[in-house]
């Protein structure tokens, strides 16, 4: 059996990338500055004392990182790339944490310890932020350190009943083998547009990573929910208020389900929309068996609700932390913070575990399995 591949996990949160990489990998270093996420990481990984560092990435130096990693994984803060944020781009206050990470990668390279591979995971807005200038800046940083790079846009709903599109930029120093390059269903229109917009010297460094589609998903949202009797439901007046927030299209969608007379489970998200020049809050429902993208619970509108339609009328409730964990592919044994807000903060700001596992099995491991760097783990 070959030695495990060694990796660093930056902005690790609750360690979801580590869970996805699984047994063929060993974590040599992990970091996050958020105390809630740090406590969650420690609660789920008994060896955290050996490699986990709680603190600002800007306060780390290359000398704090052990050995030579096969892979560095970075899920840097995404708010400034997100359509929900101010789209300040790589210069934004939170997304600029990326440069704290990249400063460490440059330091490792100066010491001859550059990672063989790098994964940068972020929201899809990374591809278009500032008209593509931020994605080009990322490419410049990678190319300056001798990396070839390419991007895949993967929606977690290919694996889980949650709509969660994310971009995964994978960069390597060695020339990629032909069997790992080519067409992929994850070369979305946005990925292709971002690649075509690169200047010639970066286009020469671009790689079209081949990643096959996974087998068809066989679970839906209803299958991941707690039994009705085990959860608390909204009082009728709160459900009525939720229905009042629905635009005619969404109300008609719900009424059509009621008319069928069968049990139907829907996911509801509250959003602010502009209508007739006014910003109004709307509740939007979907009955396709998929939840909307989980978010961190910064306010009441960011928590998803569940509606159940049937012969007994319409009932509603909030999505529970354990249900959110299932929608991220976390095992039942995963230890969540006891407070709902903290638990939803961890899950809503993570990376879907089965997506990481598929990426690792189909691309990262075949490419990096030869001659692992074997960074020390203590």
* Inside any domain, residue 326: no
User: Which parts of 152-197 fold into alpha helices (H)?
Assistant: 189-196
Q: Residue 203: which H helix or E strand, with range?
A: helix 200-203
> Residue 32's domain is classified under what CATH number?
3.40.50.150
Domain identity same for 361 and 307: no
Higher-pLDDT residue of 286 and 370 is 286
Which residue, 280, 298, 319, sits at the end of a domain?
A: 319
Residue-level pLDDT at 374 = 53
Nearest Cα to 55, choosing from 95, 97, 99, 3?
97
d(CA 368, CA 118): 11
* Inside any domain, residue 185: yes
Domain identity same for 83 and 162: yes
DSSP assignment letter at 361:
I
Q: Residue 273: which H helix or E strand, with range?
A: strand 264-275
Domain identity same for 213 and 234: no
- Name the band, by pLDDT with cuts 50, 70 and 90, for residue 303: confident
Work out the number of other CB atoms within 10 angstroms of the CB of residue 321: 22
Range of the domain at 88: 5-217+350-368
d(CA 192, CA 188): 6
Q: What percent of the chain has pLDDT over 90?
A: 78
For the stretch 307-356, pLDDT in tens is: 999 877 899 999 999 999 999 999 999 999 999 999 999 999 999 999 99
For the stretch 238-254, pLDDT in tens is: 999 999 999 999 999 99
Query: Whole-angstrom distance between the N-terminal and C-terminal Cα of the chain?
Result: 22
Nearest Cα to 334, choosing from 43, 46, 57, 128?
43
Domain identity same for 263 and 196: no
Q: Which of 160-174, 187-201, 220-234, 361-375 has the lowest mean pLDDT?
A: 361-375
- Name the band, by pLDDT with cuts 50, 70 and 90, for residue 261: confident
Q: Which of 34-43, 131-140, 223-232, 285-294 has the lowest mean pLDDT?
A: 131-140
Higher-pLDDT residue of 170 and 277 is 170
Structure tokens at 204: 């020469």
Domain identity same for 118 and 180: yes
- Residue 215: is it exposed, middle or buried by C-beta count within 10 angstroms (0-12/13-18/19+)? exposed
Domain identity same for 193 and 101: yes
Nearest Cα to 76, choosing from 38, 27, 122?
122
Work out the number of other CB atoms within 10 angstroms of the CB of residue 22: 14
Residue-level pLDDT at 265 = 96
d(CA 229, CA 68): 52
Residue-level pLDDT at 377 = 41
Average pLDDT, the chain: 91
Residue-level pLDDT at 82 = 46
- Name the band, by pLDDT with cuts 50, 70 and 90, for residue 298: low
Domain identity same for 118 and 150: yes
* Inside any domain, residue 286: yes
Nearest Cα to 239, choosing from 318, 340, 324?
318
CB 290 within 8 A of CB 222: no
* Inside any domain, residue 267: yes
Q: With 60 as the cut, is the pLDDT of residue 372 above it?
A: no
Mode of pairing for the β-strands spanning 71-74 and 117-123: parallel
Domain identity same for 232 and 213: no
Domain identity same for 126 and 236: no
Residue-level pLDDT at 378 = 36
Phi and psi of 93, rounded to 5°? -60, -40
Number of H helices, E strands in the chain: 13, 11
Instruction: List Cβ<8 Å contacts ≥24 apart for 41-45.
Output: 41/12, 41/13, 41/14, 41/15, 43/335, 44/14, 44/15, 44/334, 44/335, 45/15, 45/18
Structure tokens at 269: 């998200």
Higher-pLDDT residue of 121 and 374 is 121
Residue-level pLDDT at 203 = 97
Rg for the chain, CA atoms, rounded: 22
* Inside any domain, residue 342: no
d(CA 77, CA 164): 16
* Inside any domain, residue 308: yes
What DSSP assignment string belongs to 307-319?
Answer: EEEETTEEEEEEP
- Residue 85: is it exposed, middle or buried by C-beta count within 10 angstroms (0-12/13-18/19+)? middle
Domain identity same for 364 and 312: no
Q: With 80 as the cut, is the pLDDT of residue 41 above it?
A: yes
* Inside any domain, residue 195: yes
- Name the band, by pLDDT with cuts 50, 70 and 90, for residue 300: very low
Residue-level pLDDT at 370 = 65
- DSSP reduced 3-state for 8: strand
Domain identity same for 68 and 120: yes
CB 167 within 8 A of CB 122: yes
Tell me how many domains the chain contains: 2
CB 19 within 8 A of CB 330: yes
CB 334 within 8 A of CB 346: no
Q: pTM value?
A: 0.92
Mode of pairing for the β-strands spanning 278-286 and 305-310: unpaired
For the stretch 95-104, pLDDT in tens is: 578 888 999 9
Domain identity same for 174 and 257: no
Q: Residue 35: which H helix or E strand, with range?
A: helix 35-44
CB 265 within 8 A of CB 222: yes
């Amino acid at each position: 059996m070959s030695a495990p591949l060694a990796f660093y996990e930056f902005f690790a949160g609750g360690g979801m990338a580590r869970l996805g990489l699984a047994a063929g990998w060993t974590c040599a270093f992990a970091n996050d500055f958020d105390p809630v996420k740090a406590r969650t990481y420690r609660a789920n990984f008994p060896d955290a004392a050996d490699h986990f560092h709680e603190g600002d990435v800007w306060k780390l130096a290359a000398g704090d990182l052990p050995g030579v990693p096969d892979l560095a994984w970075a899920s840097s803060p995404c708010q400034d790339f997100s359509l929900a944020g101010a789209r300040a781009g790589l210069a934004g206050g939170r997304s600029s944490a990326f440069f704290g990470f990249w400063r460490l990668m440059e330091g490792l390279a100066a010491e001859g310890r550059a990672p063989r591979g790098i994964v940068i995971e972020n929201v899809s807005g990374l591809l278009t932020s500032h008209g593509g200038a931020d994605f080009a800046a990322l490419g410049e940083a990678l190319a300056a350190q001798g990396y070839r790079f390419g991007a895949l846009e993967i929606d977690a709903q290919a694996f889980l009943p949650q709509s969660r599109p994310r971009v995964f930029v994978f960069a390597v120093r060695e020339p990629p083998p032909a069997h790992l390059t080519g067409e992929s269903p994850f070369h979305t229109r946005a990925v292709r547009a971002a690649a075509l917009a690169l200047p010639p010297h970066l286009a020469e460094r671009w790689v079209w990573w081949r990643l096959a589609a996974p087998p068809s998903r066989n679970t839906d949202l209803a299958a991941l929910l707690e039994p009705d009797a085990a959860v608390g439901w909204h009082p009728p007046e709160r459900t009525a208020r939720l229905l009042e927030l629905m635009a005619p299209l969404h109300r008609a969608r719900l009424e059509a389900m009621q008319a069928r007379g069968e049990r139907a489970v829907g996911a509801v998200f509250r959003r602010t929309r502009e209508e007739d020049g006014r910003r109004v809050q709307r509740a939007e429902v979907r009955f396709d068996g998929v939840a909307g993208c989980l978010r961190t619970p910064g306010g009441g509108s960011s928590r998803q609700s569940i509606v159940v339609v049937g012969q007994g009328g319409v009932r509603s409730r909030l999505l529970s932390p354990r249900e959110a964990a299932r929608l991220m592919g976390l095992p039942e044994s995963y230890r969540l913070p006891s407070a709902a807000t903290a638990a939803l903060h961890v899950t809503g700001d993570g990376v879907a575990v089965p997506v990481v596992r598929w990426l690792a099995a189909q691309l990262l491991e075949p490419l990096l399995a030869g001659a692992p760097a074997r960074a020390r783990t203590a």
